[in-house]
Structure 1
Amino acid sequence: MSTIRFGGIASGLDTESMVKELMKAERAKVDKLQQNKQTKTWVQEAYNDMNKSFANFILDSKKALGLTSTTSTGSTFTTSYSSLTWVKSASSSNESTFTATATTSAVSGTHNIEVKQLATGVNKASIKDIVARNVELGGALTDVTSTTELSELGIADGTLTFDGAAEAISYVSTDTIATLVGKINALKDADGNALGIKATFDETSNRLFLSTTAMGSNAQIKITDDGGGLFTGPASKFATDLDLNSELYVGQDAEINFDGAEGIKYSSNQFTINGITIDLKAAQPGVTNTIKVDTNIDGIIEKVKAFVDSYNTLVDSVNTKLGEKKYRDYQPLTDEQKEAMDEDTRKLWEEKAKSGLLRNDSTLQRTLQTIRSSLYEKVEGVSGAFSSMFEIGITTGSYTDKGKLEIDETKLREKIMQDPDGVMELLFKTSSSSDEETKKSETGIVNRIYDNMVEGMKDVIDKAGAGDNATLYRKVQSNIMIEFVVKGSKSLIDEDLLSIAKRIDTENDRLSNVEDRYWKRFTALEKAMQQMNSQSTWLSQQLGGGQ
């Protein structure tokens, strides 16, 4: 029930202003809570921005290093460093016959290759122009397009069955050529996968084409039922050279001789052998070409330097936040203070108020320290010549560099020449151990950085949540949010903000009651003054009337 308020009618007082001034002092506590809430919100946003930087560093650097692969579904996964294509280089002696690239596992030296034949699929086409075929069969067709109905080709309702298809195609005379093509392309096998047969119609040549989407000896086109004579038989409406129930229409495997091994077959013209990825362009039977594989020293140095530069940039940004000056006299503005400032002044004030929010933050400091400490530790279980990054010319620099890395390029080049596989193992080794401590000790330098950074990200998520970045974080590690979700998906800052919000609500209720009390008192004063004025007027009238 609202209180009726009288504003100085009898007393002449500016009641509204007086209540406002009285409430200003009362609202100081709410203003303090609102400022605390705003500060914590800014801290949460600053944490989320930092975690976003960690995530982007991991994703971008892994992509640059070739440590991620993208599947048809768009997901990414970490691959073995043995598949990296920048560690070794491969050159083909005849690029018109084949091209070659080398992975880390490729054996350096010169390799011999003879391309005996290419892989092919099955390709069948209308031997004759469909219009001409129609006339030949007694029809009167003068033109044909993808919208021509089957009835115009003399085709009635029927079915067509391809070997391996889960079901036959049913067509009707009113179907167009485009409709028939679509039905063929939609065929599935018994497992629900695409059958692998593609139909197309070319309006320029008036011909229909059937082909396999795959190559090799497992690719085939076999028609087991064609009662309507679409593709088979002497009255074939599309005039192909397909023969009903024939086993002849199969693809061909690629075949090569490689380093003395003869008759090696592949179902594709792109394949990897002995760590060398080969893309066949033409057959050249009887001719032996060569592939030369060498360590790509410049390529390795370039990738390592790019990673270190990116890492140092991230470390710089974290250290900048940790050392950022805190302006304690600049607190978040109240609504009243904002109204009293112009926009530019307000922005400058907020910049000062947001400065130093993560100064000397223990969570970020611990993450950097953990990463830094792990870099000093040896990589256990290596088979190469190096177990420490200092051995290959990578150091943490001076104390003032605050964890940034430095590269002695001359030393790094020397060590790559000495043992390129050892350098790669030191940087990218992974461990299959189920023991956590053993796994950490057997993990290479680069992967240690990633692993420790992910652990730091989890600490930040526990403290500040994920904000709008949950999807990004899951790209870094699919299960990164699981522990957070199990705990209830509420960060420490979220809990603080909820507590502050409740206190603000309670305080606002109190303020509402306080303001009502003030108004009740002033209203009582106004009523008393009004009554007194009325009595004074009556008394004056009585006294005046007695004279």
Structure 2
Amino acid sequence: MDIDSMVKSMMTAKRVPLDKLNQDKQLLEWKRESYREMNSKLYDFRTNKLTSKYGVSSAMNMQTAVTSGNTTAVQADASATANGIDMAVSVTQLATKAKVETAGGGKMVPASRTLAEMQMIIDGKDPSKLTEDEKKAYADKTYNFSINGVSFTDSNKKTLFTSDTSIATVVATINSKTDAKVTAKYDELTGKLIINSKSSGKNSEAKLGEDAKDSELLSLFNQKAADKSVFNTADGVNAFAYVNGVKIEKDTNTFSVNGVTLTLLKETTSTVGENVKPTDSGVLDNPLFITTTTDPTKAIETIKGFVEDYNALILTLSKRIGEAKYRDFAPLTDEQKAEMKDSDIEAWTEKAMSGLLKNDDILKSTLSSMRTLITEKLGSLSAMGITTGSYSENGKLYIDEAKLKQALTDNPQGAIDLLQGPQSAATTGLFDKLADTISKSLSSIADRAGTNRFSGELTSSFKEESVMGKQLKEYNKRISTMLDYLENAETRYYNQFSAMETAMNKLNSQSANLLSSFGMS
């Protein structure tokens, strides 16, 4: 008996339900992948386009600051709220940061040098000629440091700066202590360590500890000073400027006036100080002059980009919703693939994967909601030169660029209010409403497929507690049960046929013996 062939033939029929389970599971996995692809596209449009690109105020800013006069002293950037008032800007004092600066620890001292090596330079010691006791003393040396009441110590109150700490590590350690509110930098050319307060103005601080030990670290960078414990310090000061004759005091060099952001770069007066007036006798002043004009170029590019991205998304949604579904093309089994060419497998699988999201309720709702939002604002959009195509184009947008440019020039604020929302109700703009609609769709997809609504990554993992995740768990359980059943059935068949074969062999043997006894063999 050919037992293997007989068992294989019988098991083929029994494996049909298992093949169907695996095919259904594969379809579900493919559908989940399709949802993840749509999640990625929706997330990208909402987060990277509507919110981060088109929704920011600068994207629709049509105000441009035109400067003349002392253009190197002040930088002017008009915001969307610039009110068009001409301004003359004079600067009598720049805001500065509080500072501690050492005299220097030697020329061309690399940041890789350790504190022990710096100490040896101060002591005039040759590392190659040190005694064992001296080597140990340098190795055991530590350096204290505190600024603005913050000490640089570990949890055991031991200083972080030891003999083998490099200059680069010193700088990094100081900068890592956010509560010290300072930043440090090191100049290899001069050997200077410079520590500035993070903020500027008269209230900024870079105060060293009162105990001499609190500045042991800095003394290594102060070799050029007669007294190694005395450092160059400076308090921060406020900025003083005059705009159209009105005195302005700020603790920073960047501030806004009349919707224009001013960045003070240098003083414009021949005499500098907080009490200096540009009109004082003997004071020479070279001010900056600012006018604002409307330039819709940036806004036009923003709107064109939005329309292009919007059209691309609704086209993708429409294609997925209307994609053909080939019900006769089920996922291939391993046995079927073994009998096919790679090109045939690829063509078959492409049809099997087609239409997985055909007429999908989430995608249809998303597309419908997006088109509804456009329709609600179509009157205002049309006045700007933005219209929709035919019904068959599923709401595709078109732009009349000449009409758009004229509309933006005539009423720039109206366009901003329509697309980004007015300042009093910023979330009522078209961009925000579209983003909100897509956020709801992302949540629906996440609930169903287990996708990550906060990420557009195509490699992000699925959440097993989603609807489809639970369905896949059930498939795996049923497949496991079916495999156990088939394994038991196959074993039973083999046992039965083996027993049958043994019995037949025994019967044949008995028959042969009987015939032999009658002399018939």
Relative to structure 1, the CA distance from residue 298 to residue 470 in structure 2 (aligned partners, 3 Å threshold; closer, same or farther) is: closer
2:182 to 179, 192, 196: 196
CA-CA distance at 1:280 after TM superposition? 2.4
Under a length normalisation based on structure 1, what TM-score does the superposition of the two structures give?
A: 0.75
Letter in 2 for 1:153: I
CA-CA distance at 1:369 after TM superposition? 0.4
Relative to structure 1, the CA distance from residue 17 to residue 306 in structure 2 (aligned partners, 3 Å threshold; closer, same or farther) is: same
Matched-pair contact (CA < 8 Å) for 2:54–2:431? no
Number of the residue aligned with 1:108? 84
Letter in 2 for 1:117: Q
Matched, 1:464 2:449: yes
Matched, 1:447 2:432: yes
1:55 to 24, 34, 43: 43
CA-CA distance at 1:535 after TM superposition? 1.1
CA-CA distance at 1:543 after TM superposition? 0.9
Number of the residue aligned with 1:383? none
Runs of 4+ in 1 over 6 A off after TM superposition: 155-161, 168-174, 228-233, 240-246, 430-433
Matched-pair contact (CA < 8 Å) for 2:60–2:299? no
Correspondence list, 1:224-303, <5 A: 224-225=209-210, 227=212, 237-239=223-225, 249-262=234-247, 264-285=248-269, 286-303=285-302
Relative to structure 1, the CA distance from residue 541 to residue 149 in structure 2 (aligned partners, 3 Å threshold; closer, same or farther) is: same
Between the aligned partners of 2:327 and 2:165, the Cα distance in structure 1 is 77
Structure 2: 5+ residue runs without aligned partners? 108-112, 125-137, 270-284
Deviating more after overlay: 264-273 vs 338-347: 264-273
Correspondence list, 1:524-539, <5 A: 524-539=499-514
Number of the residue aligned with 1:153? 122
CA-CA distance at 1:334 after TM superposition? 0.5
Letter in 1 for 2:324: K
Number of the residue aligned with 1:164? 148
Between the aligned partners of 1:240 and 1:65, the Cα distance in structure 2 is 56
| SS across alignment from 2:519 | helix
Correspondence list, 1:45-444, <5 A: 45-62=33-50, 65=53, 67=55, 81=57, 86-93=61-68, 94-123=70-99, 125-127=101-103, 148-150=117-119, 152-154=121-123, 164-167=148-151, 175=163, 178=166, 182=170, 186=174, 193-196=179-182, 198=184, 200=186, 202=188, 204-225=189-210, 227=212, 237-239=223-225, 249-262=234-247, 264-285=248-269, 286-377=285-376, 388-429=380-421, 443-444=428-429
Relative to structure 1, the CA distance from residue 66 to residue 118 in structure 2 (aligned partners, 3 Å threshold; closer, same or farther) is: farther
Matched-pair contact (CA < 8 Å) for 1:371–1:452? yes
Relative to structure 1, the CA distance from residue 279 to residue 330 in structure 2 (aligned partners, 3 Å threshold; closer, same or farther) is: same
* CA deviation vs aligned residue, 1:353-401 (integer Å, no higher than 9, x gap): 11111122222111100111122225xxxxxxx9843333322321011
CA-CA distance at 1:37 after TM superposition? 0.8
Between the aligned partners of 1:89 and 1:373, the Cα distance in structure 2 is 35
Between the aligned partners of 2:16 and 2:168, the Cα distance in structure 1 is 78
Relative to structure 1, the CA distance from residue 209 to residue 239 in structure 2 (aligned partners, 3 Å threshold; closer, same or farther) is: farther
Between the aligned partners of 1:335 and 1:184, the Cα distance in structure 2 is 58
Under a length normalisation based on structure 2, what TM-score does the superposition of the two structures give?
A: 0.79
* CA deviation vs aligned residue, 1:451-474 (integer Å, no higher than 9, x gap): 1111111111122111xx455169
Matched, 1:502 2:477: yes
Matched-pair contact (CA < 8 Å) for 1:108–1:295? no
* CA deviation vs aligned residue, 1:213-256 (integer Å, no higher than 9, x gap): 443223344445353686999xx85517999799x720222221
Between the aligned partners of 1:325 and 1:501, the Cα distance in structure 2 is 28
* CA deviation vs aligned residue, 1:33-63 (integer Å, no higher than 9, x gap): 1111101110111011011111012222146
CA-CA distance at 1:151 after TM superposition? 5.6
Between the aligned partners of 2:88 and 2:516, the Cα distance in structure 1 is 130
Matched-pair contact (CA < 8 Å) for 2:104–2:193? no
Matched-pair contact (CA < 8 Å) for 1:185–1:197? no
CA-CA distance at 1:412 after TM superposition? 2.3
Matched-pair contact (CA < 8 Å) for 1:92–1:292? yes
Number of the residue aligned with 2:9? 21
CA RMSD of aligned residues (A): 3.9
Matched-pair contact (CA < 8 Å) for 1:122–1:219? yes
Q: Which has the higher contact order (CA 8 A, sep 6+)?
A: 2
CA-CA distance at 1:504 after TM superposition? 2.1
* CA deviation vs aligned residue, 1:146-174 (integer Å, no higher than 9, x gap): 65342652599797665622338888998
Letter in 1 for 2:391: Y
Matched-pair contact (CA < 8 Å) for 1:185–1:199? no
Between the aligned partners of 1:231 and 1:531, the Cα distance in structure 2 is 99
- Structure whose residues are more often helix by fraction: 2
Count of aligned residue pairs for this structure pair: 475
